Chains A and B, each alone.
Chain A
Amino acid sequence: QKEVEQDPGPLSVPEGAIVSLNCTYSNSAFQYFMWYRQYSRKGPELLMYTYSSGNKEDGRFTAQVDKSSKYISLFIRDSQPSDSATYLCAMRAYSGAGSYQLTFGKGTKLSVIP
């Protein structure tokens, strides 16, 4: 079992829909959770991050973490064509001796159709 699982999609939704993107993980040591957005032929950019279980909201985006279920989600409300991108989850764990492990999901490709 891979440490981080993310459905690659592709996911296609109509403009205005609510989008739910998800990742599951197996490593209980992950403590810091992030979502990156990557437009076609561009580098990933950090969208949201959170340390704790629960919800964190930023405009149309909500990041949700459930550590007991080892499950994280990104919700996009009122989706726009400009949200069309690949979304990568990422998780960080302390791996000892001052080192940190950052693990990325493989990404979910989202298309928002006007």
Chain B
Amino acid sequence: TAGITQAPTSQILAAGRSMTLRCTQDMRHNAMYWYRQDLGLGLRLIHYSNTAGTTGKGEVPDGYSVSRANTDDFPLTLASAVPSQTSVYFCASSVTRDTGELFFGEGSRLTVL
């Protein structure tokens, strides 16, 4: 079972350019999440979706947008990348929003120059 698939695995991006990180799950989970992980700061929630068609803001949403057109896909878009968005991005899912049992993807390592 694939679980959570993220793409790309890594990317170098020029500041000011846009980028979409893709996330697909095959577990039919209702809830999905995007986190960024930075040294010394840990995992921080960017955006989440309780179910298809709904999204919400997490702890650090500025500069990012998401959409949830269907159950399986939850792309994260950086409209105009800045160097402070250099990070490792993890997509995760859970059966429902009210559980702490998250399943994570392998991560997308993004460098903004």
Contacts and interface: CB of A to CB of B under 8 A. Distances in A.
Interface of A: 8, 32, 34, 41-46, 49, 88, 90-92, 94, 98-100, 102, 104-107
B104 A44 contact: yes
B104 A45 contact: yes
Interface majority SS (helix, strand, loop, mixed), chain B: loop
A106 B42 contact: yes
Interface string B1-24: 000100000000000000000000
Interface of B: 4, 40-43, 45, 90, 92, 97-107
Nearest to B43: A104
A46 B106 CA distance: 14
A34 B101 contact: yes
A35 B3 CA distance: 20
A39 to B, nearest CB: 10
Contacts of B104: 43-45
A104 B41 CA distance: 10
A91 B62 CA distance: 24
Contact of A106 (B40, B105, B107): B40
Contacts of B97: 98-100
Contacts of B105: 43
A43 B90 contact: yes
B4 A43 contact: yes
A88 B43 CA distance: 9
A63 to B, nearest CB: 13
Given A34-B100, A49-B101, A88-B42, 15 more contacts: A41-B106, A41-B107, A42-B107, A44-B90, A44-B104, A45-B103, A46-B103, A49-B100, A98-B98, A100-B100, A102-B100, A102-B102, A105-B42, A106-B41, A107-B42
Contact of B42 (A42, A49, A92, A104): A104
A113 B106 CA distance: 25
Contacts of A94: 98
